[in-house]
Amino acid sequence: MQPAPQARRSLPLLHAAPRVEPRTVRVSLTDRCDLACVYCRPSRSDGYLEKRLDDDAWRAMIRALVQAGVRRVRITGGEPLLHPRVTELVAFVASLGVEDLALTTNATLLAERARALRAAGLQRLTVSLDSLVPERFWRITRGGRLDRVLAGIEAARAAGFAELKTNTVVLRDDNDDELPALTSWAWERGIVPRFIEVMRVGEGAHLPPETLVGHAEMRGRLAHLLVDEDGARDEGRGPARYVHARGDARLRVGFITGTTDTYCETCDRLRVASDGTLRPCLATNDGVAAMDLAERGDVGALVGAIGEAWALKPDGRTWKGCTEDTAADVSMRAIGG
Ligand code: SAM
């Protein structure tokens, strides 16, 4: 059994007054996952949290987040579709009238759930897709079936989400020859492909450094498809930079470059782990344990705990995000990737 992330504080020096307010939250509904991607976890049996929030506790937590000013919610994990009542929880978040409600999934269970999630008010969906070659996909995910994931993506297309994206973590000598194929495949289906630099977070810190394919190299591999411009971020929508296709500005590719570039200064993101720990930053285990408050349904006290967690947010001017040594001790699966 994996111990709960420790609630502790870092050096006060790192926490000069936060520049932005918490507007975006990533909620890890469960730390359980049915895959074990090589850059994310060491095996399928690396242990789970001892206790997770129940549905009422999640409702109190989400009410408190909205009261504290959060306007954009992304549900993630672990694998959020393993939560038996993910659809009901999505409907609850939607009922609070947030501006943006999105979910990140590995899509192994999406074929059965896409339509209900859309009907419950989920607006946008991101699917992790590291390869279009079944054997590779199986190897990178340690046992994932590509056909199920592709069926899930088709169901999501049919369900009519406002936006569909894919996330591909690019690994040298593994899937780095697939960038053009993944891009064309996604564009043909109205999907926005995104390519992610492997970060030294969790298991990513144990991969050989040469596994990293940096942004410049990725751009080189897509040079024939994309305009020769830096691209731009979508306002309020996280760190990805989008570059559009040569000859068609409606087609885009996103790049997430947490290793060669850090973008902490404008980060308005808070995370909630499935045990209720409020986490101000992906790259440290700092946080405020709030399971008890959530279980008591004490929304007022939770708003206070959110403020406390936000005060722990590292100073984005000096902090170098996922390149900091502390990132290696973080489990992306446990805290919500
Ligand atoms: N199970 C869901 C899924 O597969 O999309 C959500 C959780 S998963 C941890 C969320 C994202 O984290 C995925 O897109 C995954 O590729 C990314 N991720 C995990 N570890 C990473 C690492 N070391 N470097 C870069 N991205 C990572």
Looking at per-residue pLDDT, the higher value among 29 and 238 belongs to 29
Q: Is 166 in the pocket of ligand 1 (CB under 6 A)?
A: no
Q: How many other C-beta atoms lie within 10 A of the C-beta of residue 17? A: 7
Instruction: Supply the residue whose CA is at minimum distance from atom 23 of ligand 1.
Output: 204
pLDDT over threshold 90, residue 11 = no
DSSP class of 6: P
Atom of ligand 1 nearest to the CA of 79: 1
* Exposure class string for 187-198: b at 16+ Cβ within 10 A, else e: beeebbbbbbbb
- Alpha-carbon distance of 293 to 275, in angstroms, equals 11
What pLDDT, in 10s, does the model give residues 229-276? 999 999 888 889 999 999 999 999 999 998 998 878 888 899 999 999
What integer is the mean pLDDT of 15-38? 85
pLDDT of residue 4: 44
Q: Is the pLDDT of residue 153 over 90?
A: yes
User: CATH fold of 6-335, please?
Assistant: TIM Barrel (3.20.20)
Strand partners, 104: 126
Q: Which two tokens stand for residue 280?
A: 């101000």
More confident residue, 329 or 35: 35
Could you report how far apart the first and last alpha carbons of the chain are, in Å?
A: 20
Give the gyration radius of the chain's Cα atoms: 19
Compute, in angstroms, the gap from residue 298 CA to the centroid of ligand 1. 31
Residue 321 CA, ligand 1 centroid: distance in Å = 16
What's the 251 CA to ligand 1 centre distance in angstroms? 24
* Ramachandran quadrant class, 233 (left: phi over 0; alpha: psi -120 to 50; beta: rest): beta
Residue 70 tokens, joined: 């959060």
Q: CA dist 86 to 6, 71, 101, Å?
A: 26, 19, 13
Is the C-beta atom of 106 inside 6 A of ligand 1?
Answer: yes
The pLDDT assigned to 19 comes to 54
Say yes or no: CB of residue 332 within 6 Å of ligand 1. yes
Q: Which two tokens stand for residue 92?
A: 């609850």
Full-model pTM: 0.93
Q: What pLDDT score does 319 carry?
A: 82
